[in-house]
Amino acid sequence: MVADLEEKLPENQLPLIPMNVVLFPGNILPLHIFESRYKLMVEFCVEQESCFGVVLIKKGKEVGGMSIPYLVGTSVQIIETDYQEDGRINLITLGQHRFEILDLVYDRPYLVGEIRTQSLENQQASDNLEQIASTARNLYENYETWLTKTIPDWKLPDRIPTSPDQLSSQIGTRLQITLREKQEMLEIFDIDQLLIHQIQLLKYENHRLSASLLAQSKFDILHPKRKAFWKNSSLN
């Protein structure tokens, strides 16, 4: 049965866009909308003043046909729309909340999910959350510094948050890891466990980047004429 596209969705349902993106709450996501089904979805969300969900594709393609998404995503609010003459739409969206997909609904041109909103909580009632966040922040600051030395034109963030939830979102966004690894972070709803997980990743990445720079430095000393070759061949 095809739904009335102007009919408001139940509160526990959310339009979905499966993408090759993992978005964390609090982060900006620009989108370029050109498929007819997603133009309809944007029109619906603008008229209803409602959010939609961004979910990582588990199986399928971004363009054309229905994709199977992972079951945890982030709801986004449209904060800016720019309608092009050819019908395409440029959006600026802002990540709001994690959600878990309980079921998928296929009665519209675009995918809809029955969802349950999830928030980051201190589920273990940990007394040392502040210390965990401080450790993560220090490691993350070091990580950003390493990246400036290994990636040309890498820009440091304007600020590093102090609140644990905002800090974890920025770390998740900025870490240069696979989408699957980012998805694993998005699926952790306990702020303590999320930060501990990120601490382990940051320790590994900092060690890897440090070792890479040390190896590069030694190579440059031994083979100064091949310095350009090393930079072009580096895994970083």
Examine the domain organization and report whether 51 and 104 are in the same domain.
yes
User: In the prediction, which pLDDT does 65 show?
Assistant: 72
- Domain membership of residue 52 (yes or no) is yes
Interior CA angle at 18 toward 13 and 23, to 5°? 90
User: In the prediction, which pLDDT does 221 show?
Assistant: 54
In this prediction, residues 123-127 reach a mean pLDDT of 64
Share of the chain above pLDDT 90, in %: 76
> 197-208, pLDDT tens digit by residue?
999 999 999 999
Give the other-Cβ count within 10 Å of 63's Cβ: 9
- Domain membership of residue 7 (yes or no) is no
**How many domains does the structure of the chain reveal?**
2
Examine the domain organization and report whether 97 and 150 are in the same domain.
no
- Domain membership of residue 123 (yes or no) is no
Examine the domain organization and report whether 55 and 21 are in the same domain.
yes
In this prediction, residues 147-174 reach a mean pLDDT of 95
Last residue of a domain, one of 118, 143, 171: 118
Examine the domain organization and report whether 99 and 174 are in the same domain.
no
Last residue of a domain, one of 69, 91, 118: 118
Examine the domain organization and report whether 39 and 108 are in the same domain.
yes
Examine the domain organization and report whether 110 and 136 are in the same domain.
no
Last residue of a domain, one of 118, 150, 167: 118
- Domain membership of residue 150 (yes or no) is yes
Calculate the average pLDDT of the chain.
89
pTM (two decimals):
0.85
pLDDT band at 236 (very low <50, low <70, confident <90, very high): very low
> 14-47, pLDDT tens digit by residue?
999 999 999 999 999 999 999 999 999 999 999 9
Residue indicated by tokens 């440029």: 90
Residue environment code for 127-148, b if the CB has 16+ CB neighbours within 10 A, otherwise e: eeeeebbebbbebbebbbebbe
pLDDT band at 230 (very low <50, low <70, confident <90, very high): very low
CATH of the domain at 86: 2.30.130.40
Cβ burial of 24 (10 Å; 0-12, 13-18, 19+) is buried
In this prediction, residues 1-16 reach a mean pLDDT of 78
- Domain membership of residue 209 (yes or no) is yes
Torsion angle of alpha carbons 94, 96, 99, 105, nearest 10°? -50
Examine the domain organization and report whether 174 and 216 are in the same domain.
yes
pLDDT band at 225 (very low <50, low <70, confident <90, very high): low
- Domain membership of residue 228 (yes or no) is yes
User: In the prediction, which pLDDT does 67 show?
Assistant: 86
Range of the domain at 156: 129-233
Closest by CA position to 43, among listed 1, 11, 91: 91
Examine the domain organization and report whether 75 and 141 are in the same domain.
no
